[in-house]
Structure 1
Amino acid sequence: MLTERWRLNADVAYLPWTDFKGRDHHLLRPTTMFDEQRSNGGRGVQVEGVLSYFVTRNFSVGVGGRYWAMWTNSRSDSLCSSSGCVEPTMLAKYSMERWGTFFQASYKLD
């Protein structure tokens, strides 16, 4: 609790292992290939923070933010299609980042 009515919460999570499977869709081309890129052994992190205000002892409203990030090792990629999986000559590194904000309301029963 920051004061009697304000509270700040924060969470951090570490992902020690991630898997990735992506499919490249070129649907605007006359011939479409559905090759998949796969990778495993990556890492990730999630961070979240919420600032809440207690309107009453049991009811609070808040605003928060959340960030996710995941990435793969460039040493563990493979390219897969309908004919099977092969090790590519040029390794790629994949990553994903997402963020967002949210509003919340909470009521605590006694």
Structure 2
Amino acid sequence: MDGRRTPTTEAGHYKHTSDKVNQTLGGNMVWWDERNLNGQCGRCNRHNSGELDLYGLYLEQKFGHGICQELDRQFRIPKKWSREEAAEVEAKYTALLGGISAPKQ
């Protein structure tokens, strides 16, 4: 290694689920929409506010015309996630991870 930090991929979001829209119900429809979550370098994700203009262009290329409008629409739909729905999400991602462990710090 030459002392430079290796860039890492972070979870970049087009619509941030921590935004306060619909928080009184516990969230919105975009919370578990995987199209909203894509790999992004740390500089863009944290220091450049997600570079949403470029991120939106990327989403259009990856998912097709209108994806940004669809995510915006879903973001505004209030959704109270039930315990059963949360358990289904947990089971889905546990199965997808299938034994992958977190990297050691």
Question: When the two structures are superposed, what TM-score results if normalisation uses the length of structure 1?
Answer: 0.27
Question: When the two structures are superposed, what TM-score results if normalisation uses the length of structure 2?
Answer: 0.28
> Which structure dedicates a bigger proportion of its chain to helix?
2
Q: Larger relative contact order (C-alpha < 8 A, sep ≥ 6)?
A: 2
> Which structure dedicates a bigger proportion of its chain to strand?
1
**Which structure has the larger Rg over C-alpha atoms?**
1
